[in-house]
Amino acid sequence: MSNKVTLTRFIIEQQREWPDASGTFTLLLNNIVTACKQIAHKVSRGQLIGVLGSAGSENVQGEVQKKLDIITHDIMVNQLIWTGHLAGMASEEIDDVITIPAHYTKGKYLVMFDPLDGSSNIDVNLAVGTIFSVLRCREGIEPTLDDFLAKGAEQVCAGFVLYGPSTMLILTTGQGVNGFTLDQDIGEFMLTHPNMRIPEETGEFAINMSNHRFWEAPVQRYIDECLQGKEGVRGKDFNMRWVASFVADVYRILNRGGVFLYPLDNRDPTKPAKLRIMYEANPMAFIIEQAGGMCTTGYERVLDIKPSGVHQRVPVILGSKNEVERIIRYHQDA
């Protein structure tokens, strides 16, 4: 018999350490997890249930929506909207924030999510994921846009579920990072990766090299030095990985270290960065910092940025501490 701790037990035991906790947060997390189990099921069934391919529409970012982008968004909304724990939601797939209809009770949390990150990888059967971020809100009110636009440092919880060879949940509530693996036979997430820590040293970087000519000088300098390997100033060879699924690249870094960059670039002046702060950069920054890593734009800590819109984009450089510190130094030198 497995003596692994279930996610439910883990969360309830954590909750007991906060005598004033009402249990609402535990219930909310439970609903998020139920939605992710449903998504895992759809993703794994793939074309057997006809969910692959384009939906023939575009989201607010001007990106072509996949059928699964819309299906997974709907699953998240349907699992969360009725619970009474939320004051509102925001999703990558919807322009405006999502309000709670009057016939449901309003709660004290805001949830922001990317229902299916890396969705360009779905049709080629590579890993994708769901990213979420939870903020506290004034209770029982209709939240304003400003309630959503809190700094990442104010998140109470962040996590992501990776739909890979195994389905995994990575979670932080500000007391370190824990990884859970979905046991498909019993439908429970089990604690398999307690207290994840990112090695400070690494010889691995992740970046979309095809954008090299669009980057700023400090990023070009850093990557060029990595490419010079043993013969260059770094005096060692580097390895490169790019899954093009943020969730998968971050998961690898949490396990064996590395640095991920989606930096500022001048390809399109209307989109100087790619990743969105509220439901991609902030939750990942919280997780990475809680695992001993760092997350910066090159100029400032991502968690300290006051967002100006729910779909705001931000440069992201994250991972092993020593490499991220070096990249920050290169920005200061420039």
* Residue 114, burial from CB neighbour count under 10 angstroms (0-12, 13-18, 19+): buried
Cross-strand bridge partners of residue 294? 319
118-147 footprint of ligand F6P as x/- string (CB under 6 A) = x-x---------------------------
Our finding on whether 289 is near ligand F6P (CB under 6 A) is no
Q: How far apart are CA 39 and CA 332, in angstroms?
A: 43
> Among candidates 146, 142, 180, which has minimal Cα distance to 161?
180
Residue number, 73 or 106, with CB nearest to ligand F6P: 73
Our finding on whether 319 is near ligand F6P (CB under 6 A) is no
Q: What is the number of the residue whose Cβ is closest to ligand F6P?
A: 246
User: Mapping DSSP to helix (H, G, I), strand (E, B) and coil, where does residue 319 land?
Assistant: strand
When CB distances are held under 5 to 8 angstroms depending on the partner's kind, the choice from Mn ion, ligand F6P, none that residue 244 binds is ligand F6P
Minimum distance from residue 293 beta carbon to ligand F6P (Å): 16
Our finding on whether 93 is near ligand F6P (CB under 6 A) is no
- How many angstroms separate the Cα of 132 from the Cα of each of 24, 227, 288? 17, 34, 14
- The binder of ligand F6P chosen from 67, 73, 252, 274 (CB under 6 A): 274
What is the DSSP secondary-structure string of 23-65? SHHHHHHHHHHHHHHHHHHHHHHGGGGT--SEEEEE-TTSPEE
Residue number, 10 or 160, with CB nearest to Mn ion: 160
Q: How far apart are CA 53 and CA 265, in angstroms?
A: 29
Our finding on whether 208 is near ligand F6P (CB under 6 A) is yes
- The binder of ligand F6P chosen from 155, 181, 245, 320 (CB under 6 A): 245
Minimum distance from residue 93 beta carbon to ligand F6P (Å): 11
Longest alpha-carbon distance in the chain: 67
Q: How far apart are CA 76 and CA 69, in angstroms?
A: 11
Say whether 185 counts as a known binding-site residue: no
Considering only residues 95 to 134 of the shown chain, the ones binding Mn ion according to CB under 5 A are 114, 117
Give 182's contacts (C-beta < 8 A, 6+ positions apart).
Answer: 37, 40, 166, 167, 168, 169, 188, 189, 190
Binding residues vs ligand F6P (CB under 6 A)? 117-118, 120, 208, 244-246, 274
Binding residues vs Mn ion (CB under 5 A)? 114, 117
For the annotated binding site for Mg(2+), the residues are 92, 114, 116-117, 280
For the annotated binding site, the residues are 92, 114, 116-120, 208, 274, 280
